[in-house]
Chains A and B, each alone.
Chain A
Amino acid sequence: MNISVVIPAYNEASMIGQVVQSVLPMVSQVVVIDDGSSDTTAQVAAQAGAVVLRHMINRGQGAALQTGTRYCLENGSDVIVHFDADGQFEPAEIPKMMEPVLNGQVDLVIGSRFLKSNQIPTLRRLFLKFGILFTWFFAGIKLTDTHNGFRVLSRKAAELIILTQDRSAHASEIIEQVFRHDLKWLELPVSVKYTAYSTSRQDGVRNEGNVKKIRVAVRFILSKLLS
């Protein structure tokens, strides 16, 4: 059973080494996608033992995930785990997250910050709630956490869910495709550590404020209307 962890990373040289090293022992391989970083993310990740794919220019977290997925599918992965590069997630929770997929119960496991009592900054929590309503309206699925980068996909799910949204809207797109392909899914609680480092970044980019989320939502709607 080949288990791969896909970690999209943009300018995460300070954290990526740790993250790769803590995840690697539990899985077959770690694939880091360096999304056009201007720092040494790629080198650090490679030294830590990850397979590194480099995007020549920055394309966004969704694009990076899809690149990683394609590589993993082409190289015989059976299970693909999505994991963040900034150290917010707990590597020790990977086996628990993988279980329902490994025993064939579901095709997709999505982490949820809200199923567990996590300390989430108030403004962030508010915007996440909006995201949940938004996703429910457009994708038809009610989740407790729509923007969670900790996921586990079966090979079948990875083959069927093809991300066309390069930036943050990919999170909603994944859910929409789960619904469209009628895949079995499950939400499991995950821990999340908000440190000063990680809150200053979002999608690997310094957080420009939540106006960005609104712009992303508008673009997502537009692309749905126009496709």
Chain B
Amino acid sequence: MTVFQWILLALIVIVFYKIYQRYREKVISNREMLFWSVIWVVAGLLTIWPGTTSFLASTVGIGRGVDLVVYLALILILYLIFKLIVRVEKLERNLTEIVRHQAVSRPINHDTSNRNNHSQL
């Protein structure tokens, strides 16, 4: 193993520690911890045996192992961004609904007298 591989492994171990920490603090859920752990385990395995990517790549018919990793990473990232956007849009709508409800229930100058006898036309 090269120095570079060792450094990468060290970084991955740190990331694992961070994931574990967040899980302990209950900031992330069981499922989320598992999801990210799997990703980083795969990253670790690929770091130790980089040949794996070349093998997988040729199986699938793509030139280099690196290309395969990049394609997969891209797909994953796009998917995660998609999910994020949907979440944010939902949050915005919920926020507006709360602000709206508050606004409508506390009108200033609300006229409680007869409403329908009121027209200049």
Question: Which A residues form the contact surface with B (CB < 8 A)?
Answer: 1-3, 25-29, 33, 42, 46, 49-57, 59, 63, 66-67, 70-71, 74-76, 95, 102, 164, 166, 222-223, 226
Contacts and interface: CB of A to CB of B under 8 A. Distances in A.
Given A57-B99, A59-B99, A226-B85, A51 B111 contact: yes
A74 B115 CA distance: 11
Contacts of A226: 82, 85-86, 89
B3 interface: no
Nearest to A66: B100
Contacts of A76: 115-116
Contacts of A66: 100
With most chain B CB atoms within 10 A of its CB, the pick from A25, A26, A67, A76 is: A67
8 contacts: A2-B116, A51-B109, A53-B108, A59-B95, A66-B100, A67-B100, A67-B104, A166-B92
Given A2-B119, A3-B121, A166 B107 contact: no
Contact of B96 (A1, A51, A52, A59): A59
Given A52-B107, A67-B99, 14 more contacts: A2-B116, A2-B118, A25-B120, A28-B119, A50-B109, A51-B107, A51-B108, A52-B109, A55-B99, A55-B100, A55-B103, A74-B104, A166-B92, A226-B89
Secondary structure type dominating chain A contacts: mixed
Interface of B: 82, 85-86, 89, 92-93, 95-96, 99-100, 102-104, 106-111, 115-116, 118-121
A29 to B, nearest CB: 7
A34 B67 CA distance: 53
Given A26-B120, A226-B89, A75 B99 contact: no
A1 B100 contact: no
Given A25-B120, A28-B118, A70 B99 contact: no
B120 A27 contact: yes
Contacts of B107: 51-53, 71
Contacts of A46: 108-109
Given A2-B115, A226-B82, A54 B103 contact: yes
A183 to B, nearest CB: 23
With most chain B CB atoms within 10 A of its CB, the pick from A28, A76, A102, A164 is: A28
Contacts of B102: 56
Given A2-B116, A71-B104, A56 B109 contact: no
Contacts of A53: 103-104, 106-108
B106 A1 contact: no
A222 B86 CA distance: 10
Nearest to B115: A76
**Nearest 8 CB-CB pairings of A with B:** A52-B108, A53-B103, A28-B118, A67-B100, A51-B109, A63-B96, A59-B96, A55-B99
Contact of B106 (A54, A166, A222): A54
A133 to B, nearest CB: 25
